[in-house]
Structure 1
């Protein structure tokens, strides 16, 4: 359980980083609580960057973390994400664990580099990203869990490469297992939405997950 003293310390560090780099630098702290996943944000600075607020839900990186064992989690430094309105962010994610090694919080830095990218030829050295993973499409930072679930569903459709109307059983199984691997079903009432989207019953959905 995340102690108040540790939260206060993380919040203090967040304020310092946001103050150092200005209004384009968002700092978000997610509390890891499987019983209240829809309201994981417990501290945020410059939330206008991603249009999020205190009490909003998790990003994709939070769901992915919950799908892994704590010892598998390695801090992700300097990768690209994108906002709902298409701006590009340079992000870092730090996994905060307790004395027993259990994940209790996620500390995220999201810096809006959209204006820098527009002048990339002049400041390329500043925004250059070395990670090979950044060659892929930046992942979405959603405004809320509904947006996150919608984005994951669309990712599952892109994975199969055909619209739902043309999917056969194997295609739907592939999409739904992708959603399961991404932690989509940790989101409250996600089963109903996914079943309706793929035009299957919840009984069939759970069979596909299994």
Structure 2
């Protein structure tokens, strides 16, 4: 069942999809359940997003983007598994306590418009990242990622986790860019009751296994 605070955004998602047509996909994420964050989609044929899936670009292309400001990052490029070029924008959703609880994502399929590119350059432009002044610290990015780590691990009994299960959790977080944040490895090690060295060894093992595929 969708969170009531997030449910309010369903009419907005529907409005955006209706306004910009079938090539505009809108997705609502519930970040209290990171592994299954997608709770609502419209026009999900654009990227194939389904309810129950996890987020893809939140950390790497939104929270760590130099264009991330005012709780949103707009007009960054993503590529679907079948090679389609997508223009994406993401805004964080906060509750009445100013806590980040979700995200509203817009994905626009640019493929049908390529034949009109000369006329639509301004619309299709993917902005280059702008260097901005140093902020304190990362516009609450560290706090947001720490909260994601807590939620990813919260629903597991750390004391009974087997080595393979710990590696799967670390692989999930690595894929989502969690470890790009300074101090994330130390925090995860503490939460899983293992050493920082062990986390690094698991990451090395994950990388080696992927290279052997």
- What TM-score results when the alignment is normalised by the length of structure 1? 0.58
CA distance in 1, matches of 2:37, 2:205: 26
Give the C-alpha shift of residue 62 in structure 1.
Answer: 5.0
Give the C-alpha shift of residue 193 in structure 1.
Answer: 7.5
Q: What CA deviation, in whole Å up to 9, does each residue of 1:138-166 have, x standing for no partner? A: xxxxxxxx9xx69x76xxxxxxxxxxxxx
Give the C-alpha shift of residue 179 in structure 1.
Answer: 6.3
Match of residue 46 from structure 1? 43
Q: 1:199 to 1:179 in 2, by over 3 A?
A: farther
- What TM-score results when the alignment is normalised by the length of structure 2? 0.58
CA distance in 2, matches of 1:95, 1:179: 17
Q: What CA deviation, in whole Å up to 9, does each residue of 1:27-74 have, x standing for no partner? A: 0011011xx32110011111111112111111121577789xxxx873
CA distance in 2, matches of 1:65, 1:49: 20
Is 1:133 matched with 2:125? Answer: no
Q: 1:179 to 1:100 in 2, by over 3 A?
A: closer
Is 1:11 matched with 2:10? Answer: yes
Identify which of 82, 87, 110 aligns with 1:85.
Answer: 82
Give the match's secondary structure for 1:47: coil
Larger proportion of helix: 1
Q: What CA deviation, in whole Å up to 9, does each residue of 1:86-125 have, x standing for no partner? A: 1111111111112222100100001101222343123223
Match of residue 71 from structure 2? 74
Q: 1:63 to 1:30 in 2, by over 3 A?
A: farther
- CA RMSD across the alignment: 3.8
Match of residue 117 from structure 2? 120
How many pairs are equivalent?
A: 152
Q: Which runs of 5+ in 1 are unaligned?
A: 135-145, 154-177, 201-210
Match of residue 25 from structure 2? 26
Give the C-alpha shift of residue 77 in structure 1.
Answer: 1.7
Q: 1:73 to 1:102 in 2, by over 3 A?
A: farther
Match of residue 196 from structure 1? 205
Give the match's secondary structure for 2:118: helix
Q: Which runs of 5+ in 2 are unaligned?
A: 131-167, 189-198
Give the match's secondary structure for 1:48: coil
